[in-house]
């Protein structure tokens, strides 16, 4: 099988294969991106760069249907969710285009002593490598490329091997938007070739979204070569229910938080932690509502749950559920598969000794836990190697903030799921990585924050 190929997960059909880049062409691509950096960062003003980024967003909007259909066949995302992903990208590019000068303006520093002034001036670093995952083929690129191209960096983009068509479509959009051809270069590279790219002295940083294993490997290579790294890795996000006067609304949020993108999101709600007095009614309503969501044709507008992204993804999830039940977990409802279509499922009675307790479930399988108190909920929520997102549902505002302060995660959402935005920083702690994307903080990762001190 080719390293890069579009394999429709709904049918298993290999639609098209793409050749891997040669070592010589990869070397040339690095050189072209390096050469393009000076003109893009020094000779193109920030407002001109912003207009290109704005046009990138406009082209996403103009090609909305085409782009959405590509990722339906690449990774099985239902068409309405695919369209929604494209729309989110439009918002991201608009956000950075609208705030270009503000994000890059000089930042004065108050001197403690002495005459004169001091300030921070932000400038680009150079060539950056982006290593992107398959689960959000456009959104992941937008939150990396949008701010970094605006800053003046140039980009080499390695997409997931199952997303070559969307990768090519994105490169075409950047070129059609007026970006210099060599400022954004799509590379169909192997993992071995990527090690060479990271080690190249012309490459100044790398951003990866993916598994912990991939993140550790990239961080090790980058560390040896003294390169800046941003990592957005896995998550096993807790959904903590401590109190509510509208259980039906909470259940609706819980279902949405579990099945969006087929449950294949790093920051999806995965572990549902419920206090005693709400556990039984929540479990009953949640199980019924989740079980009502049936996998279907991802090309249909009313489909909420498509196939998992690949046969490998379905095999892994099936194995996780099997091992969980073999180690004492109770399969309350669901499970099973038809090809890559995986039924929703609910697991309970998961003990710390069960392998499921520590694993991330990447698919429409929910774990539900019973706790006796707020303190126990916090302890369970934090008892994981991950620390990406979290969700707290309570009708007590003081409790909400008190618990939020104790959660070991990069993001806490109170009484809401799906509340991400272009302006809100995204990232985690612990085994979920480091660094931030989106918002002002996302534009401050790969920059030279140069101090300029002027004497009186």
Q: Which sequence positions are flagged as catalytic?
A: 232, 266
**Contact 85/136 with Cβ under 8 angstroms?**
yes
Q: Which has the closest alpha carbon to 357: 397, 384, 319, 337?
A: 384
Cα 144 to Cα 138: distance, rounded to the nearest angstrom: 10
Contacts of residue 11, Cβ cutoff 8 Å, sequence gap at least 6? none
Please name the residue that has the structure tokens 């920083």: 425
CA 71 to each of CA 110, 162, 268: distance values in angstroms, whole numbers, following the listed order: 50, 10, 19
**Contact 445/230 with Cβ under 8 angstroms?**
yes
Look up residue 347 and give its two tokens.
């697991």
Q: Which has the closest alpha carbon to 265: 167, 133, 383, 393?
A: 133
Q: Which has the closest alpha carbon to 333: 319, 347, 321?
A: 347
């Amino acid at each position: 099988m080719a390293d890069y190929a579009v394999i429709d997960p709904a049918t298993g059909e290999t639609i098209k294969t793409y050749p891997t880049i040669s070592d010589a062409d990869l070397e040339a691509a690095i050189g072209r991106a390096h050469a393009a950096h000076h003109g893009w960062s020094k000779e193109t003003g920030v407002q001109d760069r912003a207009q290109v980024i704005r046009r990138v967003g406009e082209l996403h909007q103009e090609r909305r249907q085409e782009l959405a259909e590509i990722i339906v066949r690449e990774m099985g995302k239902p068409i309405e969710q695919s369209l929604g992903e494209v729309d989110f990208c439009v918002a991201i590019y608009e956000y950075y285009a609208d705030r270009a000068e503000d994000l890059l303006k000089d930042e004065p520093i108050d001197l403690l002593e002495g005459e004169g002034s001091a300030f921070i001036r932000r400038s680009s670093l150079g060539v950056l490598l982006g290593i992107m995952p398959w689960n959000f083929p456009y959104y992941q690129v937008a939150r990396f490329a949008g701010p970094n191209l605006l800053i003046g960096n140039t980009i080499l983009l390695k997409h997931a091997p199952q997303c070559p068509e969307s990768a090519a479509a994105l490169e075409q959009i950047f070129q059609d938007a007026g970006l210099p051809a060599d400022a954004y270069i799509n590379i169909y590279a192997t993992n071995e070739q990527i090690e060479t790219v990271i080690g190249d002295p012309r490459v100044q940083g790398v951003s990866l979204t993916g598994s912990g294993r991939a993140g550790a490997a990239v961080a090790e290579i980058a560390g040896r070569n003294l390169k800046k790294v941003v990592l957005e890795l896995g998550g096993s996000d807790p959904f903590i229910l401590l109190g509510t006067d509208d259980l039906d609304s909470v259940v609706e949020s819980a279902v949405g938080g579990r099945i969006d993108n087929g449950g294949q999101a790093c920051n999806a709600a995965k572990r549902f932690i419920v206090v005693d007095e709400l556990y039984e009614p929540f479990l009953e309503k949640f199980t019924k509502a989740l079980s009502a969501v049936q996998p279907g044709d991802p090309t249909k507008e009313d489909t909420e749950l498509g196939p998992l992204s690949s046969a490998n993804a379905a095999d892994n999830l099936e194995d996780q559920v099997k091992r969980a039940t073999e180690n004492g977990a109770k399969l309350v409802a669901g499970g099973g598969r038809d090809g890559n279509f995986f039924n929703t499922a609910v697991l309970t009675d998961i003990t710390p000794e069960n392998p499921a307790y520590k694993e991330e479930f990447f698919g429409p399988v929910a774990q539900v836990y019973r706790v006796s108190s707020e303190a126990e909920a916090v302890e369970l929520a934090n008892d994981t190697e991950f620390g990406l997102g979290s969700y707290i549902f309570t009708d007590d505002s003081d409790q909400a903030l008190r618990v939020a302060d104790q959660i070991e995660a990069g993001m806490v959402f109170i009484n809401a799921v799906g509340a991400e935005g272009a302006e809100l920083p995204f990232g985690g702690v612990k085994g979920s990585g480091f660094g931030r994307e989106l918002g002002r903080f996302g534009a401050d990762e790969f920059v030279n924050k140069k101090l300029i001190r002027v004497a009186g």
